[in-house]
Amino acid sequence: QQQVKQSPQSLIVQKGGISIINCAYENTAFDYFPWYQQFPGKGPALLIAIRPDVSEKKEGRFTISFNKSAKQFSLHIMDSQPGDSATYFCAASGGGGSNYKLTFGKGTLLTVNP
Amino acid sequence: DVKVTQSSRYLVKRTGEKVFLECVQDMDHENMFWYRQDPGLGLRLIYFSYDVKMKEKGDIPEGYSVSREKKERFSLILESASTNQTSMYLCASSPVLATGTSVYEQYFGPGTRLTVT
């Protein structure tokens, strides 16, 4: 059972464009929704995260939009740059107990063309 | 900076061999995790540990075991490697606050690409 569904699997954007990656979750106990960025040959690194008490969080060119009723959240990369080319993973966690573990989406390979 | 190191970047083993993947973190984190990453499947949790000598199964524990004898070190063991265990293996750690609450953010190592032939 896949608890976090991510789309698209791959995305090609021109430099300066907007990249949008979407995720949907099923477990209403989740209360932490991070996005991880992974460059080739590296481990994933936290990019930005949101909790369900807000609908949007912005850090520089990266924004998470969160829709609790629809159980969806998305990553928007404004003014996309070739250096943003990487694999992006959404994840979710929460519910107390040992549920600090993260459940990841399958990833989106973003290519930003110069 | 938090540093999570993995013993090998690349490893080639034969079917049936016992394989040890080592992970060390230098930030005194309580929680440690092992994932495997496969194209199109994302990151899947194999095992995690929230304290020395404590472990819990993740989503895909079959064919794997783990050992955590010291806080900073978490080992993944493939008892009898098989070709379907060819994958990228990622180790991660996360801290626990003084309040006892686990921090969700995980810090990842660079990964070990294991090939089983």
| 3 state DSSP class of A34 | strand
Instruction: Give yes or no for A44 touching B (CB within 8 A).
Output: yes
Nearest CB partner across the interface for B104, out of A34, A43, A89: A34
* Total count of residues recorded for chain B: 117
* Total count of residues recorded for chain A: 114
Beta strands in A1-114 (DSSP E): 4-7, 10-14, 19-25, 33-38, 45-50, 56-59, 62-67, 72-77, 86-92, 103-104, 108-113
pLDDT value, residue A96: 58
Do A5 and A108 contact (CB within 8 A), yes or no? no
- The reply to whether residue B102 touches residue A106, judged by beta carbons under 8 angstroms, is no
pLDDT band at A29 (very low <50, low <70, confident <90, very high): confident
pLDDT in tens, A83-112: 999 999 999 987 655 557 889 999 999 999
Backbone angles phi, psi at A62, to 5 degrees: -105, 130
- The reply to whether residue B90 touches residue A101, judged by beta carbons under 8 angstroms, is no
For residue B26, CA distances in Å to A26, B2, B6, B22, B30 come to 35, 7, 12, 14, 11
How far apart CA B51 and CA B6 sit, in angstroms, is 19
How far apart CA B49 and CA B73 sit, in angstroms, is 10
- All residues of chain B having their beta carbon less than 8 Å from the beta carbon of residue A93 are 104
A72 Cα to chain B: minimum distance (Å)? 18
pLDDT value, residue A6: 97
Q: Is the pLDDT of residue A2 over 80?
A: no
- Which of B60, B90, B106 is the mutation pick for testing A, counting most A CBs within 10 A? B106
Do B46 and B56 contact (CB within 8 A), yes or no? no
Instruction: Give yes or no for A29 touching B (CB within 8 A).
Output: no
How far apart CA A86 and CA B114 sit, in angstroms, is 22
Instruction: Return the bridge partners of B82, or none.
Output: none
- The reply to whether residue A104 touches residue B42, judged by beta carbons under 8 angstroms, is yes
What is the full per-residue pLDDT of chain B (117 aa) written as tens digits? 669 999 899 999 999 999 999 999 999 998 999 999 998 899 999 999 988 989 999 999 999 999 999 999 999 999 999 999 999 999 999 887 766 666 778 999 999 999 999
pLDDT value, residue B101: 65
Picking from A85, A55, A88, A96, the residue whose alpha carbon sits closest to that of residue A73 is A55
pLDDT in tens, A30-82: 888 999 999 998 999 999 999 888 999 999 999 999 999 999 999 999 999 99
